[in-house]
C-alpha cells in the first residue's frame, strides 16, 4: 500500500508541474519567445530534454532582473549561459562560465558567439572528487581569485564512474574571497542544503519547491536562492 500511495502522489505532482508550466506560459507568452530560441538551439545539439527547461530559464531571467548582478560566476555551462551572456552584454556585466567537458563548453560557446561580449569567458577545468570530506565534495580544480555578485551552481556533474552521487556538494563557491551577494542552485539538493547551513545567518534562504513531493502551484520556486540580508 505505501508504494501505491507514493506512486499516486508522484502522478499528482507530475500533473501539477505540467499544469503550472502551461498556465505560466499562457500568462507570459511574450517573455517566452526568446527563451524558446535558446531551448531549440540546445535541443538541436542533443541537450535539454526535460520538461522544466523553459520555465527554468524564465525563472533565471527573473532572478537577474531582481538582483541585477554586475559579475556572474557560472559553475556548469549550458542553456543558462545564453541567458547570462545576453544579460552581460546588455548590462556591461562580467560572466565567467566553467565546465569540465570541453566539447560541451565549445558547443555552448558556439551558440553564444554572435552575442558574446568582451567580458564573457568560458573556461574548461578538470573535475575532482573529495569523497572523504563531510559532506563529500565534487568540484572544479581551479582557484577563484576574484569576487562575484552572483554565483550559479549547476556543475560539475555528480556522475562518477557511471554512478550519480546525489549526496555530494559542489563546493567551489566556498573558495571565493568573499561570500557572494546571491547564490543560485539548480536543484542540487545536497549543495542547497549545505549552503542553507552555512549561510542562514547572513542570507535569506529560499529552497527549491522541487525538493518536496507535494504538488506545486503556479509560479513555484524552481531554483534554490540565497541572497544577502
CA–CA separation, 152 and 85 (whole Å):
13
pTM above 0.75, yes or no: yes
The pLDDT-based confidence of 31 (bands split at 50, 70, 90) is confident
Partners of 225 in the beta sheet? 184, 206
CA–CA separation, 221 and 62 (whole Å):
12
Question: Rounded to an integer, what is the distance from CA 87 to the centroid of its chain?
Answer: 15
CATH code: domain 2-228 is 3.40.50.150
Q: What is the pLDDT of residue 208?
A: 97
The backbone torsions φ and ψ at residue 120, rounded to the nearest 5 degrees and listed phi first, read: -105, 130
3-state secondary structure the chain: CHHHHHHHHHHHHHHHHHHHHHHHHHHCHHHHHHHHHHHHHHHHCCCCCCCCHHHHHHHHHHHHHHHCCCEEEEECCCHHHHHHHHHHHHHCCEEEEEECCHHHHHHHHHHHCCCCCCCEEEEECCEEEECCCCCCEEEECCCCCCCCCEEEECCCCCEECCEECCCCECCHHHHCCCCCCEEEECCCHHHHHHHHHHHCCCEEEECCHHHCCCCCCCCCCCCEEEEEC
Q: For the chain, what are the domain ranges?
A: 2-228
The pLDDT-based confidence of 160 (bands split at 50, 70, 90) is confident
pLDDT tens per residue across span 162-220: 888 999 999 999 999 999 999 999 999 999 999 999 999 999 999 999 998 889 988 99
The stretch 111-119 carries a mean pLDDT of 73
Amino acid at each position: 500500500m505505501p508504494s501505491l500511495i507514493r506512486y499516486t502522489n508522484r502522478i499528482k505532482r507530475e500533473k501539477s508541474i505540467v499544469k503550472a508550466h502551461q498556465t505560466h506560459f499562457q500568462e507570459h507568452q511574450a517573455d517566452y519567445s526568446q527563451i524558446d530560441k535558446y531551448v531549440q538551439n540546445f535541443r538541436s545539439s542533443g541537450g535539454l530534454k526535460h520538461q522544466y527547461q523553459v520555465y527554468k530559464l524564465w525563472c533565471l531571467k527573473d532572478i537577474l532582473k531582481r538582483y541585477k548582478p554586475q559579475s556572474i560566476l557560472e559553475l556548469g555551462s549550458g542553456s543558462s549561459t545564453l541567458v547570462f551572456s545576453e544579460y552581460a552584454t546588455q548590462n556591461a556585466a562580467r560572466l565567467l562560465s566553467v565546465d569540465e567537458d570541453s566539447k560541451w563548453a565549445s558547443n555552448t560557446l558556439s551558440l553564444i558567439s554572435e552575442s558574446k561580449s568582451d567580458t564573457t569567458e568560458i573556461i574548461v577545468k578538470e573535475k575532482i572528487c573529495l569523497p572523504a570530506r563531510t559532506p563529500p565534495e565534487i568540484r572544479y580544480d581551479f582557484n577563484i581569485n576574484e569576487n562575484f555578485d552572483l554565483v550559479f551552481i549547476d556543475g560539475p556533474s555528480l556522475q562518477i564512474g557511471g554512478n550519480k552521487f546525489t549526496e555530494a556538494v559542489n563546493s567551489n563557491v566556498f573558495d571565493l574571497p568573499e561570500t557572494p551577494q546571491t547564490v543560485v542552485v539548480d536543484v542540487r539538493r545536497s549543495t542547497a542544503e549545505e549552503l542553507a547551513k552555512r549561510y542562514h545567518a547572513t542570507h535569506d534562504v529560499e529552497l527549491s519547491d522541487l525538493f518536496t513531493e507535494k504538488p506545486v502551484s503556479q509560479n513555484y520556486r524552481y531554483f534554490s536562492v540565497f541572497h544577502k540580508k
